Amino acid sequence: MDGAATGIRYPWPSPPAEAEVIAVATGVLWLRFPLPFALDHVNIYALDEGDHWTLIDTGVKTRRTLALWQQVLDGPLSGKPVGRVILTHHHPDHVGMAGWFMEHHGAELWTTRTAWLMARMLILDAEDAPSPQAVAYWRSAGMAPDIMEKRLSERPFNFDDIAHPLPVGYRRVQQGDVIRAAGRDWDVHIGGGHAPEHLTMWSRDDNLVISGDQILPSISPNIGVHPTEPEADPLGDWLESCARLEGLSRPDHLVLGGHKLPFTGLPTRMRQLRDNHDGALRRLLRHLSIPRTAVECFPPLFKRTIDGGTYGLAMVEAMAHLNHLHQAGRVTRTRRDDGAWLWHCAERDIDA
pLDDT at residue 70, rounded to an integer? 97
Q: Which homologous superfamily is 22-128+156-288 in?
A: Ribonuclease Z/Hydroxyacylglutathione hydrolase-like (3.60.15.10)
User: CB of 166 within 8 A of CB of 120?
Assistant: yes
Domains of the chain: which residue ranges? 22-128+156-288
3-state secondary structure of 268: helix
SS3 83: strand
What string of DSSP letters covers 294-352?
SGGGHHHHH-S---TTTHHHHHHHHHHHHHHHHHTTSEEEEE-TTS-EEEEE-GGGTT-
Identify the pLDDT of residue 2. 39
Neighbours of 101 (CB within 10 A): 23
What is the structure's pLDDT at 200? 98
In the chain, which residues have pLDDT < 70?
1-6, 347-352
Torsion angle of the four alpha carbons 131, 132, 137, 142, in this order, in degrees rounded to the nearest 10: 110
Complete edge-to-edge strand list for the sheet that includes strand 28-34: 22-25, 28-34, 41-48, 53-56, 82-86, 108-111, 171-172
CA distances to 88, 109, 111, 258 from 58, rounded to whole Å, are: 10, 11, 13, 10
Parallel, antiparallel or unpaired: strands 198-203 and 254-257: unpaired
Pairwise CA distance, residues 130 & 116, whole Å: 24
Strands annotated E in the chain: 22-25, 28-34, 41-48, 53-56, 82-86, 108-111, 171-172, 178-181, 184-191, 198-203, 208-212, 254-257, 331-335, 341-345
- Report the distance separating Cα 135 and Cα 152, nearest Å: 8
pLDDT on residue 350: 54
Q: Identity (one letter) of the amino acid at 35?
A: L
Q: What does the pLDDT look like over 246-256, one tens digit per residue?
A: 999 999 999 99
Packing angle of the helix pair 145-152, 132-140 (nearest 10 deg): 170
pLDDT at 51: 96
